[in-house]
A and B are shown apart, each in its own frame.
Chain A
């Protein structure tokens, strides 16, 4: 593809996503509300993602602790291990890793599901059945991802800290009371709040891109595969871009 065509495509896609976002907010506040479908999506997106998020969170905490220990030991500050790990997990690694796992599971799933519905005319059938498909399919899913990811991140962080506690005790002995005393002593409100807030944006981006790619799927089953793939790639990339932006913003606000 020639460069100018690529740039034109990029701007075209950005414009289309912007219109999609504008439509999302327009439909979000306009009655009638698809409450039952929203609750169902919260269950599918949030509750059913919990086992995966819990396992990855636990491994993340355990491995990070085991990797950090030799470095801290060489500086003679092994006692600071809970502090280092908790700050790393809560501020950065927990939200980003959880969001990436979430993007891989949810964004691709939404992209494939809506893409499949599009090419098999289920979205048209929904419209004919007196339902606003955008509100029923897109608004409920994006709202669910936006609300569920912060909750999943908090749970993942907590489980990661338990994993870390286990890691600390593999080559030493620290009581759980002392471990969590050190963790909560090290963490401040300014560590937790921006980290949780950015997951709201991660969740929004992941749900929105999944829905956008699926809702605009074309070219049959090949298009469905492409939608699912593009949903993961773009939403994962957006997680890093949003992370970069939020770090800059919190830095400007003096929260770092």
Chain B
């Protein structure tokens, strides 16, 4: 099934401009409807920010997109594939093309930076030679400006550096889409701005599309082509930063105060 999915991804992504389609998705934890008919599309090359209050289900949404959570209803199509109908190998084929930057970075503590970057390559890209893998690692680390950390352990790096390494780990697979889960949370304003710039550079150089979960309005302003506001499990509003900032709706304007 994985080979079929890979073929469909190649064909599907050439055909249309929508790389991720989220259609009336519902997700419930206990009695709480975290997602209640959320609908949105991510266009090719677009940077879409999902804005919402803490606990509103933003992270749950992108974890549903990558298949870490199963949805209770609705459909999610990633690169033309309905992820709910994919088996484990099919999901892996999708995940090779969709990077995920975790809020906590999720670098493997017991591995060096090199091993952290090698790990997804060894798992997803079995045909990559050792020399090619090494070149990719070195090039990707150079892109995030941390080539000198290649043999360091994650515990030796600052929060901002760990964030860059985590981004490098997603980029090493040359993904078509990157999902960012609060990429600037916990960082000082200068480092947060650097990360936002790096995200824009990555978008441009790697031709990626991205969904960004964030509360950081400076990051949102810098990175967003469109913003979707997630409220009560639904897409409450959608528009550009300027459109939403000028909104008179209190529920929207509260994010921009």
Contacts and interface: CB of A to CB of B under 8 A. Distances in A.
A127 B102 CA distance: 12
Given A122-B107, A128-B120, A130-B92, 9 more contacts: A121-B102, A121-B104, A124-B63, A124-B106, A128-B100, A129-B123, A129-B124, A130-B120, A130-B124
B92 to A, nearest CB: 4
A48 to B, nearest CB: 13
Contact of B123 (A120, A121, A131): A131
A121 B124 CA distance: 19
A130 B95 contact: yes
Among A117, A121, A127, max chain B CB count under 10 A is at: A121
A116 B68 CA distance: 18
A125 B88 contact: no
Contacts of A117: 109
A122 B88 contact: no
Interface of B: 63, 66, 68, 88, 92, 95-96, 100, 102-109, 119-120, 123-124
Given A116-B109, A122-B109, A130 B104 contact: no
B106 A132 contact: no
A128 B102 CA distance: 10
Interface of A: 116-117, 120-122, 124-132
A124 B103 CA distance: 12
Contacts of B120: 128-130
A132 to B, nearest CB: 7
A132 B95 CA distance: 13
Nearest to B170: A128
Contacts of A126: 108
7 contacts: A121-B104, A122-B108, A125-B107, A128-B100, A130-B95, A130-B123, A132-B88
A116 B110 CA distance: 12
Nearest to B89: A130
Nearest to A122: B106
Contacts of B102: 121, 124-125
A124 B100 CA distance: 10
A125 B108 contact: yes
B95 A128 contact: yes
A124 B166 CA distance: 13
B66 A128 contact: yes
B96 A130 contact: yes
A132 B92 CA distance: 10
Among A116, A124, A125, A131, max chain B CB count under 10 A is at: A125
Contacts of A132: 88
Given A130-B120, A130-B124, A125 B106 contact: yes
B165 to A, nearest CB: 12
CB-based closest 5 A-B pairs: A125-B106, A130-B123, A129-B120, A121-B106, A121-B102
Nearest to A127: B68
Among A120, A124, A126, A128, max chain B CB count under 10 A is at: A128
Contacts of A124: 63, 68, 102, 106
A4 to B, nearest CB: 20
A221 to B, nearest CB: 12
Nearest to A40: B110
A46 to B, nearest CB: 17
A156 B96 CA distance: 47
Among B63, B96, B103, B104, max chain A CB count under 10 A is at: B104
A128 B109 contact: no
Nearest to A44: B110
Contact of B100 (A116, A122, A125): A125
A124 B106 CA distance: 8
A130 B96 CA distance: 8
B88 A128 contact: no
Contact of A129 (B88, B103, B119): B119
